Structure 1
Amino acid sequence: MSLPGLSSPLSSRRLAGLCMGLSIGLCASLVTAPSAQAGFNGGYLLETETKRFIRAMKTELAAAGSHGQRLTASAHIASQLVPSFRSGAKPTGMKQTGVKQTGATMVTAIEKSDKAKPGQARDVTLVPLELALSQVAMQVGSNHFDEIKAAQASGNGQVLTLRKGHFTMAHLFAMTRTDELRKAVTRRPDGYGLHLPVLIMPAAHLSIADERIALSSTSGAFIINLGTLGIEKAVIAGMAEKSDQARGDGAFKPFLMTALGGRFAARDSQFSHLGFGDRPKFRGLSFISGHLFPKQSFVFLSNNRFDHVGTVELKGMRDFTLSNNSFNASGESALRVEDSMSGQIIGNLVMKSQKHGLRVTNNSTRITIRNNIIFGSKEAAIFVGGGATATNIVDNILLDNKKSGIISKSAACPTIHGNAILRNGVRGILSENTFQLSLKSNVIALNKGPGISLLGGAVQTDHIIVEGNRFERNALGLGTSDISNITLKNNDFSKQLPALFSGEMTFYLADYLKRAGTLVKGNLSPFIISKPSHVADNGVSNSGLLLSKFQYCNDG
C-alpha cells in the first residue's frame, strides 16, 4: 500500500473525487476552499484528508441508509485516501484455494437444499427448553443456561423445533395455527414475529428471504441452528419493548447460534439489536464448531449490515468467509475469532465498536484480514493474541480508534503489510511477545503515541523485520524494549522528526542516521540490531507461549 503524490498540491479534481458519494454541500465547500485551490505540503495534506475521511464517515456512513450505500461510499473514499484500497479484493500471501472452494461448495449446497422436500406439519413440534439446550451443551457448555430459562415468558420453557424438511416462514406460520402453537409465530405488516425459541435440527432447513423477522425479547426468543439456515435480503431484529427498556442493559436480547455441524449463509440482509449482554456464545451471532466433532459447522456472511449487534463470534470454525459486511455500534468487539483456521475477513466496514474492531485469539491459524476499514473503536482496531498464528493483516485502513491501530500480543508470525494506520489514540502498532513479526509498507501517521512499539520477543532467536514503512507526525516514531534482533530497511522517517526513536532504540539513533544516508529512503542496506535479551532460550516465551503452536509459520 502506498500514498503517492502527498508532496504535490491537492487538486480540485482529486478533492471532488474524494467527496463522491457524500453530501453535495460538504463536497462543494471542500472543493471551493482556498486551501484546496492553492495546495499544501504533504504532511498537512495527509492530516487534512484523514480528518475529512473521519468526518465523512461519521456524518454519512453512520447515519441511516442502505447497506449498499455504506459500502459504496466507504470504498470510494478509501480508494481516494489510499489508492491501492479495493473493497473485497482477493487476499494474497497465503494459500486460499481450499477456503474458496470449500466456501463455494457449501453455499451451493445450502442453495440446493432450498429444493429439499418440504417439511410437514408433524415435523414442527414443541420440546422442553431443557432438552433443546442440552443438544448444544457439549460444544458451548451450560453457562448462562439458567438466565436463558429465566427469560422465557411465563416460565413455559418450550422451544419450537423443526425436525426435518425444508421450511419457509410462510409455511411455518401456516403450520402453527393450532391452539398449541398459535402464539409461536405471528403475522406482522412487514413480516413475522417469533415468540418462542426455535431449534433447527440437523435434517431441517429454514429459509428466510425478502421479509422481516422480529424476535421477541420479552418472550425469550432465539434461534439455535443445528441444520441449515439460509437468509437472503431479509431483516432479523430483536423486538425491543417497553418492558425491556425498564429492565435495563441486563435484560434478555435474542441471539442466533449455529453449532454441531450446522450450516449458515446470509447475504444482502440486516441484523439488529441482537445479543444477550456479555455472555459468550449468546452475545449476538455465534458460529461454533469443534475439532473433535465429526461434522464441522459452516458460515458464510456477505454484504450484510449489523447494527447494534453484540458481536459476531466464531469458535472452532474452518474455511469461513466474511466479506463486504458493515458493522455499526457493536456492543462488544464487532468480530471475535477464536480457535479457528483458514478464514477470510475481507472488505468489511467496522464502525464504533465498544471494544476492539476485530479480535483474533485462542490459537487461531491462517486468518486473513484484508481491505477492511475500521474506525471509532473504543479499544484497538485489530487485536491478535493468545497464540494466534500466521495472521495476515494486509491493506486495511485503521483510523481514529481510541487505543491502538493494531495490537499483537503473544502471537506468532503475523504479517502486517500495506496498512494505513492513522490518528489512533495511543499507538499505531503495538507488538508484545510476538514471534517472527513482519512489518512492511505500512503508512503510520498522526497517532498520539509511538507509531510502532515493540515490547519483548518470544525467544532469543526471534527476529523482527521493519521494512518500507512510512512514519509521519506520530508522537514518537519507533520504540523498543527487550528486543534481541531487529532489522530496519528502507523506512521513511522524513516527516517524523524530531522524535524518531524511543526506548532502547535511542541508543542506536546516531549510528542509524549515519548509515541511513537520508531519512526519506531509509538505510539502503539493512540496519541490524542484535543483542542479548531477558527472554529465556528454552522454547517457551516469557508469556508461556509454546513454540510448538507455531508450526504454521512457514507453511506455504
Structure 2
Amino acid sequence: MRKGLPLLLALLLASTAPGLRAESLDRAELARLTRTVAEIGTRLEAVDTRKDDARALLTGRLAMIDRTEAAPRPALDRLTTVGKLQTVPIDFMLAQLRLQTARQFDAEIEKALVNRAAPALFVRGGSMTLDQVAAEADKLYPGALERRGKTILSRWPIVIWSDSALVIEPGQSLELSTIDGAFLLNSGLLTVDQGELKASEGENPGLKGFRPFVATAMTGAFQATGARFSRLGYADAGSTSGLSILGAALFPSKIGSHIVDSSFDNVSGVNLENIHRVTVAGNRFSGGTGPAVAIKGVTGADISDNVITGTTETQAIDIQNTSSSIRVAGNILLGNRGSGIFIANDARDVTVTGNLMSGNGRGGVSVVRSSCVAISENLVLSNSQVGIKLRTSNGLFLSHNDLIANAGAGISIIDQEAEAHVTIDGNAFSANKSGIHGGAASEVSLLANDFAGQSPILLDGEFAPYVPQLLQTSASQGASAAALTIHANTSSAAPVDCKTGS
C-alpha cells in the first residue's frame, strides 16, 4: 500500500465524503498558489509593511487567513502625576535586574558597562516624556544623554520605578548605546506611542554579542502602538531577549500590556512570561534570532494578524510552560528557521486559526506534551518538514486545514500516551510526502478529510494498514457518515476534559 494508490480511489475519498471543498488542487493550481504566497512575501518584505498590504491577495484558499476576528486595540494608559529624574548606583540597578528577572538575568551583563562608575538614570514619582527626561539630564547629568536631531542617545542605563512612567511620544526616538552597555529596566509603565526604541550600531568592547534590551518586570507594564523597534536583544529568550515582559505571582501588574501595529527589525524577540491578558496584534517582525514571540506561563494572550519572517535560529511563535487561553489567529509566518508555531510543555486551551505558514525550516505547527489544542482553517504550505506534528499530546482537534506540499507528512502523530485522543476532521491533503503518519499513536478519529490531491501515500507508518477502511468509510453517503477510528482507546483513564480544565 505504501507503493501507491490508484488515483481513482484517491478521488473517491474526496468526491463521496461529506462537507469537503468543491475542488481538488492540481499541479497548475498548486503552482498558482505557490506564486501567490511568494507574492505575499514580496509585498510584505519591507519592515514597515503590515498584513493589510497583502490583503488583496488573500482570496480563494487564502481567504481563511483574512477571516479571523481582529483583536481589539487597547487604549494607552497614562499617569497624571509628573515624575522626576534622579540617579541610582549601577550596583543597585544590577541588583534590581537580578531580583526582578530571577533566573532570566545574564550574570555577565556588568561586563558590558563601559563606565562602571556612572550611575543609572532613575525615573520615579510620576510620568515623564522622553523630551522631559532629556531636558532634565542635560541640566543635571551631562553626558548621560546625547541629542542627535530627533533621536536621544542614552549612554547610561535607565530605570523606570514602580510608581512611574516613561512615554516615548509620536516622532520621538530613544537609542540605547551598544558601545556603552545601556539598557532599560521598567517596573512601572513604559509607553511607546508612534515613537521609536532602538539600539545603536557598533560593538560592545566588554561583552561579546551584547546588544541593548528592554526588560519590563514585577509590577511593570509595556504598551506600544504604531511603534518601531530595531537591533534590540541578545542571547536566548529571557530578560535580554530584546523586549521582555516578565511577571511575578506575588507582584501582578495592575495594568495590561499590549504591542499593536508596530514594527520589529532585527530584534531578537518579544518574550512574555508569567503575565495575564496580553495582546500582540498587527505587528511586523523581520529577522532576529527568534522566537519573534515567546510565551511562557502566560494566561490569556491574543497573538493575531502579525507578519513574521526570517527568524534566523528558532520558530516564529513559541508557546510553552503551562501557558493557557492562548489565541493565535490570522498570522502570516514565512521563511522562519524553525516551525511556524511551536506549542509545548503543558500548554493548554490554545487555538490556532486562520494562519498562513509557508517556507519554514521545520514544520508549520508542532504540538508537544500539551492538551486541548484546536488547529483549524490554516494554510500549511511547502514547509521543510511535517505540516502539523503532534507528539505526546491529548485532546487535539484538527479541522479544515489545507496541508499542501510539505516535505514530510501533512500530519504526523507520534509517541502518544495510551489515553490520548486526536480528531482529524475535514482537512485537505495535497502533494505532501504522505497524508497522515502514525508512530506509537493512540486513538485517532478521521472524518470527512480530502485526500484527492494526496498521492501516492495516504496513510503512512503504522497507519498504512488502515487505508482500506479509510476508503470504505469515505464511500459512506450522508452527513451522518461514521468516522474511522484508528487504535481505539482501551485505557480506563478518564479522557482529558477541555471544557472544565481537568
- C-alpha deviations, 1:10-38, integer Å up to 9, x for none? xxxxxxxxxxxxxxxxxxxxxxxxxxxxx
Q: Tell me the equivalent position of 1:130.
A: 91
- C-alpha deviations, 1:114-144, integer Å up to 9, x for none? xx1322xxx3122112212322433422665
User: Offset at 1:552?
Assistant: 5.6
2:155 paired with 1:198:
no
Q: Tell me the equivalent position of 1:86.
A: 66
| Counterpart mapping for 1:246-265 below 5 A | 250-265=208-223
2:17 paired with 1:55:
no
The residue type paired with residue 62 of structure 1 is E
User: Offset at 1:3?
Assistant: 10
Scaled by the length of structure 1, what TM-score is found? Answer: 0.81
The residue type paired with residue 156 of structure 2 is L
User: Offset at 1:532?
Assistant: 6.3
| Mapped contact 1:88–1:324 kept (Cα < 8 A) | no
| Mapped contact 2:65–2:378 kept (Cα < 8 A) | no
| Mapped contact 1:490–1:523 kept (Cα < 8 A) | no
Partner of 2:463: helix, strand, or coil?
helix
| Counterpart mapping for 1:236-385 below 5 A | 236-241=197-202, 243-244=203-204, 250-278=208-236, 280-295=238-253, 298-354=256-312, 355-385=314-344
User: Offset at 1:474?
Assistant: 0.5
The residue type paired with residue 524 of structure 1 is A
TM-aligned CA distance change 1:522 to 1:73, over 3 Å: farther
| Mapped contact 2:420–2:443 kept (Cα < 8 A) | yes
| Mapped contact 2:113–2:206 kept (Cα < 8 A) | no
User: Offset at 1:62?
Assistant: 2.0
- C-alpha deviations, 1:139-198, integer Å up to 9, x for none? 4226654422111123225211012122111111111123x6111111111321111110
Q: Tell me the equivalent position of 2:128.
A: 167
For structure 2, the residue ranges without an aligned partner over 5 or more in a row are 1-18
Partner of 2:38: helix, strand, or coil?
helix
| Mapped contact 2:420–2:442 kept (Cα < 8 A) | yes
Task: Name the % identity.
Answer: 23
- C-alpha deviations, 1:56-107, integer Å up to 9, x for none? 244332246xx2x43322333234551233277247xxxxxxxx7xx84xx4
Pick the aligned partner of 2:482 from 520, 525, 536. 525
Distance in 1 (alpha carbons) for counterparts of 2:277 and 2:234: 27
Q: Tell me the equivalent position of 2:146.
A: 186
Q: Tell me the equivalent position of 2:187.
A: 226
Higher helix fraction (1 or 2):
1
Distance in 1 (alpha carbons) for counterparts of 2:145 and 2:21: 57
Partner of 2:93: helix, strand, or coil?
helix
Q: Tell me the equivalent position of 1:412.
A: 371
Distance in 2 (alpha carbons) for counterparts of 1:392 and 1:58: 25
| Mapped contact 1:450–1:478 kept (Cα < 8 A) | yes
TM-aligned CA distance change 1:361 to 1:429, over 3 Å: same
2:436 paired with 1:453:
no
For structure 1, the residue ranges without an aligned partner over 5 or more in a row are 8-41, 92-99, 540-546
TM-aligned CA distance change 1:156 to 1:53, over 3 Å: farther
The residue type paired with residue 277 of structure 1 is A
Distance in 2 (alpha carbons) for counterparts of 1:299 and 1:143: 19
Higher relative contact order (CA 8 A, sep 6+): 2
- C-alpha deviations, 1:457-494, integer Å up to 9, x for none? 23x23221010000011010011122221111000001
TM-aligned CA distance change 1:282 to 1:414, over 3 Å: same
| Mapped contact 1:136–1:260 kept (Cα < 8 A) | no
TM-aligned CA distance change 1:169 to 1:184, over 3 Å: same
Distance in 1 (alpha carbons) for counterparts of 2:249 and 2:105: 23
Partner of 1:48: helix, strand, or coil?
helix
Pick the aligned partner of 1:72 from 33, 41, 52. 52
User: Offset at 1:247?
Assistant: 8.3
The residue type paired with residue 525 of structure 1 is A
| Mapped contact 2:68–2:354 kept (Cα < 8 A) | no
Distance in 2 (alpha carbons) for counterparts of 1:489 and 1:137: 52
RMSD: 2.7
Scaled by the length of structure 2, what TM-score is found? Answer: 0.89
Q: Tell me the equivalent position of 2:380.
A: 421
Q: Tell me the equivalent position of 2:445.
A: 487
Pick the aligned partner of 1:403 from 349, 362, 365. 362
| Mapped contact 1:165–1:204 kept (Cα < 8 A) | yes
Partner of 2:39: helix, strand, or coil?
helix
Aligned residues between the structures: 482
TM-aligned CA distance change 1:88 to 1:217, over 3 Å: farther
